């Protein structure tokens, strides 16, 4: 992993990267006079162009959705890149070699220059071309082509996903890349070649090859499926590129480069288990499907999806896990139960009862069957509880008691306390017992869980009634806004801070901190009399802000917009509930006033949503 890009280089890229040329890759621009260019905004639907670019100043702005910024902000938003990825892409575009600061972290690995990174990516691109050519033309690839055809993938589908074939030769790819000027050291560093007893040889031989791309679309590794028999090839059935300076399997999702915009647009991500499952899903019209690459779905993958889903409050999207219907698949689904607690968004499971994976389901029953599988998803909590109940004989009293004792702790583990009563009632219905009995069992499970030592690396909360959990996903956005306000107050221009709704900070501690900030022109620890609040002030003042690189006004404006959108969404939900209780005939005036307020809130929420997309 590279170290931090030097600030001087970031400034150089910001000043030298031509914003009009970068934007023109995505938007057809026309001269608008006064040194400006304009076109249709890529961030919202419009018929008349309101998206303006000023090349001399290096800024863009849409007068329709109010999105704006510099060339870095534009590329980050439109391609869902991190700050570092954006700088590296722009540097490559203008031919500038970036310099990185040495990292003090022992796990950060060696520093890799942008030039080396570009060479490794270019080598992978050439390798992908080589593998694709082999699949299309080599007689030795006939078995691979036949296998793909049987799985329902024709030549066009294979070309769409860049599927290839690594020849059954010791050094076919290595020789090819050497003729293109790549050194043995570069090929080894890239994970494409390795040293054999008689010299360098290919890492992959006689396998179907899937190029693995990062979120920006650069090929950084390969996934490979064995074609030979176990007797001829004793290696694993699936083999992935080893960890390299450009490939970290825990930070990559296969298919994300083509699914990212649909995930952000639909607020949905479908997690499947293999490369062919991703292909099958996309070909069936499920364009939000991605897969992990030879590793379990983990915290880094969650972080990536959060950035696309903007997962900061309940009901802001959904993550759907698909698992095989066999025992292993069900076990994987239950493992995801604990990971779900790291999401605030709704999490679902789609399990095929006949044990077919998505690729097999499409092959045997067609595209519609695969789309129906996703449509029939069930909440992960429900799946986990029902899976536990299936192990018990509910027709006997002893079986129901054992099932209750096993399932109640699962309900108690649900972090969102507002969901626990609903699942308590559901569990009572599934067991056929009184709700009060299940309520007591769940409460006992919650007490037992709170008494056990935590093993997930989270800090033990000394004062649970005041100090918020720093890792509470539902509260991360509130925390981030407060940190930014305390650490970078100059980034809150105009009425940005005062515009935040009164009820935006839902945790009592965060609400108290907001009140303290409003009560002092410049808040300091000495001005805070409450000991708990003073401790929280110090904590928020030193905790790093989660921005990629130095926080900017764009970043602060974006997270404030997201926080306000969440607050307004809660107001909309409350107002809709009130409308349902009003009779439009008997309470016409009150009903019309509430409906008008709802329309106004919905308009404000949409505007804030568009502004919030600037953090992607």
pLDDT at 346 over 80: no
With helix as H, strand as E and coil as C, how does 259-324 read?
Answer: HHHHHHHHCEEEEECCHHHHHHHHHCCCCCEEEECCCCCCHHHHHHHHHHHCCCCCCCCEEEEEEC
pLDDT of 312 reads: 42
- Residue-wise pLDDT tens digits, 541-576: 767 788 877 889 989 999 999 999 988 888 888 788
CATH of span 253-376: 3.40.1360.10
Nearest-angstrom CA–CA distance, 394 and 430: 9
- Collapsed DSSP state (helix, strand, coil) of residue 45: coil
pLDDT of 464 reads: 41
Mean pLDDT score, 387-405? 90
Binning pLDDT at 50, 70 and 90, where does residue 326 land?
A: low
- Asked whether 268 and 237 are in contact (CB, 8 A), the reply is no
Q: Are strands 36-39 and 51-54 parallel, antiparallel or unpaired?
A: antiparallel
Average pLDDT score over the chain: 85
- More reliable by pLDDT, 268 or 354: 268
CATH of span 4-101: 3.90.580.10
pLDDT of 452 reads: 56
Beta bridge partners of 101: 4
Nearest-angstrom CA–CA distance, 226 and 241: 14
Tokens in use for 91? Answer: 């540097």
pLDDT of 315 reads: 37
Tokens in use for 11? Answer: 């400034």
- More reliable by pLDDT, 413 or 616: 413
Instruction: Name the nearest CA neighbour of 543 among 495, 603, 482.
Output: 482
pLDDT of 335 reads: 64
pLDDT at 370 over 80: yes
336, exposed or middle or buried, with CB in 10 Å at 0-12, 13-18, 19+?
A: buried
Q: Can you give the pTM of this predicted structure? A: 0.63
Q: Considering only CA atoms, give the Rg of the chain.
A: 27
- Residue-wise pLDDT tens digits, 164-205: 999 999 999 999 999 999 999 999 999 999 998 888 999 999
pLDDT of 194 reads: 94
- Residue-wise pLDDT tens digits, 428-480: 999 999 999 999 999 987 776 655 554 443 333 334 457 788 878 888 999 99
pLDDT of 616 reads: 47
Q: Mark out the alpha helices in 353-419 (DSSP H runs).
A: 358-365, 367-375, 380-389, 397-412
Nearest-angstrom CA–CA distance, 172 and 167: 7
Mean pLDDT score, 367-379? 94
Nearest-angstrom CA–CA distance, 251 and 292: 9
Enumerate the domain spans of the chain.
4-101, 114-246, 253-376, 391-450, 473-615
Neighbours of 494 (CB within 10 A): 7
As its CATH architecture, domain 114-246 has Alpha-Beta Complex (3.90)
- Residue-wise pLDDT tens digits, 481-527: 999 998 899 999 899 999 999 889 999 999 999 999 999 888 876 68
Nearest-angstrom CA–CA distance, 46 and 32: 17
Binning pLDDT at 50, 70 and 90, where does residue 102 land?
A: low
- Residue-wise pLDDT tens digits, 240-274: 999 998 998 988 999 999 998 898 888 899 999 89
- Residue-wise pLDDT tens digits, 118-134: 899 999 999 999 999 99
Q: Which residue has the tokens 């995930």?
A: 263
Question: CA angle at residue 561 from 555 to 567, to 5 degrees?
Answer: 140
Binning pLDDT at 50, 70 and 90, where does residue 354 land?
A: confident
Dihedral sign (CA 306, 308, 312, 316): negative
Mean pLDDT score, 419-424? 91
Binning pLDDT at 50, 70 and 90, where does residue 90 land?
A: very high
- More reliable by pLDDT, 325 or 28: 28
**Residues listed for the chain:** 616
pLDDT at 105 over 80: no
pLDDT of 112 reads: 60
pLDDT at 283 over 90: yes
Asked if domains 4-101 and 114-246 share a fold, the reply is no
pLDDT at 47 over 70: yes
Instruction: Name the nearest CA neighbour of 177 among 201, 197, 161.
Output: 201
Nearest-angstrom CA–CA distance, 504 and 389: 39
Binning pLDDT at 50, 70 and 90, where does residue 413 land?
A: confident
109, exposed or middle or buried, with CB in 10 Å at 0-12, 13-18, 19+?
A: middle
Q: What percent of the chain has pLDDT over 70?
A: 88
Nearest-angstrom CA–CA distance, 176 and 133: 12
């Amino acid at each position: 992993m590279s170290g931090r890009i030097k600030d001087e280089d970031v400034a150089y890229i910001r000043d030298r990267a031509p914003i009009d040329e970068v934007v023109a890759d995505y938007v057809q621009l026309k001269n608008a006079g006064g040194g400006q260019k304009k076109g249709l905004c890529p961030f919202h639907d419009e018929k008349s162009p309101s998206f303006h670019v000023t090349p001399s100043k290096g800024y863009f702005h849409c007068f329709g959705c109010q999105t704006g910024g510099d060339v870095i902000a534009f590329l980050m938003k439109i391609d869902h890149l991190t700050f570092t990825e954006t700088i590296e892409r722009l540097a490559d575009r203008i031919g500038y070699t970036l310099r990185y600061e040495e990292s003090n972290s022992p796990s950060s690995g060696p520093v890799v220059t942008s030039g080396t990174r570009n060479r490794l990516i270019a080598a992978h691109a050439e390798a992908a071309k080589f593998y694709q050519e082999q699949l299309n033309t080599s007689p030795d690839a006939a078995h691979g082509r036949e296998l793909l055809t049987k799985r329902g993938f024709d030549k066009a589908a294979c070309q769409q996903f860049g599927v290839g074939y690594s020849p059954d030769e010791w050094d076919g790819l290595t020789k090819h890349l050497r003729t293109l000027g790549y050194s043995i050291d570069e090929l080894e560093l890239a994970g494409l070649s390795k040293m054999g007893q008689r010299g360098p040889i290919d890492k992959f031989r006689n396998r179907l090859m899937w190029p693995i791309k990062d979120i920006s679309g650069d090929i950084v590794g390969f996934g490979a499926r064995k074609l030979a028999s176990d007797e001829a090839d004793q290696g694993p059935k699936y083999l992935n590129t080893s960890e390299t300076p450009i490939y970290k399997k825990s930070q990559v999702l296969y298919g994300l480069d083509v699914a990212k915009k649909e995930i952000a647009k639909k607020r949905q991500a479908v997690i499947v288990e293999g490369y062919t499952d991703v292909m099958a899903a996309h070909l069936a019209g499920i364009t939000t499907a991605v897969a992990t690459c030879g590793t379990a779905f983990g915290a880094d993958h969650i972080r990536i999806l959060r950035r696309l889903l903007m997962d900061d409050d309940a009901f802001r999207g959904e993550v759907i896990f698909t698992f095989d219907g066999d025992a292993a698949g069900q076990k994987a689904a239950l493992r995801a139960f604990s990971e779900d607690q790291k999401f605030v968004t709704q999490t679902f499971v789609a399990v095929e009862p006949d044990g077919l994976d998505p690729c097999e389901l499409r092959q045997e029953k067609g595209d519609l069957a695969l789309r129906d599988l996703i449509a029939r998803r069930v909440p992960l909590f429900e799946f986990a509880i029902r899976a536990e109940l299936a192990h018990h004989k509910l027709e006997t009293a002893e079986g129901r008691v054992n099932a209750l004792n096993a399932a109640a702790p699962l309900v108690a583990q649900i972090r969102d306390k507002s969901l626990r009563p609903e699942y308590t009632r559901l569990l009572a219905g599934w067991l056929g017992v009184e709700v009060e009995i299940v309520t007591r069992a769940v409460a006992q499970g919650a007490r037992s869980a709170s008494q056990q030592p935590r093993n997930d690396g989270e800090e033990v909360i000394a004062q649970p009634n005041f100090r918020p959990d720093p890792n509470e996903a539902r509260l991360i956005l509130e925390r981030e806004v407060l940190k930014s306000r305390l650490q970078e107050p100059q980034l809150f221009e105009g009425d940005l801070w005062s515009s935040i709704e009164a009820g935006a900070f839902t945790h009592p501690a965060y609400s108290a901190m907001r009140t303290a900030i409003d009560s002092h022109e410049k808040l300091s620890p000495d001005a805070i009399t409450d000991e708990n609040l003073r401790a929280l002030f110090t904590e928020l003042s030193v905790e790093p802000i989660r921005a990629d690189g130095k926080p900017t006004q764009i970043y602060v404006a974006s997270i404030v917009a997201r926080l306000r959108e969440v607050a307004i969404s809660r107001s909309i939900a409350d107002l809709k509930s009130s409308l349902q209780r009003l009779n439009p005939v008997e309470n016409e005036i009150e009903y019309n006033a509430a409906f008008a307020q709802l329309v106004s809130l919905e308009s404000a929420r949409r505007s804030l949503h568009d502004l919030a997309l600037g953090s992607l």
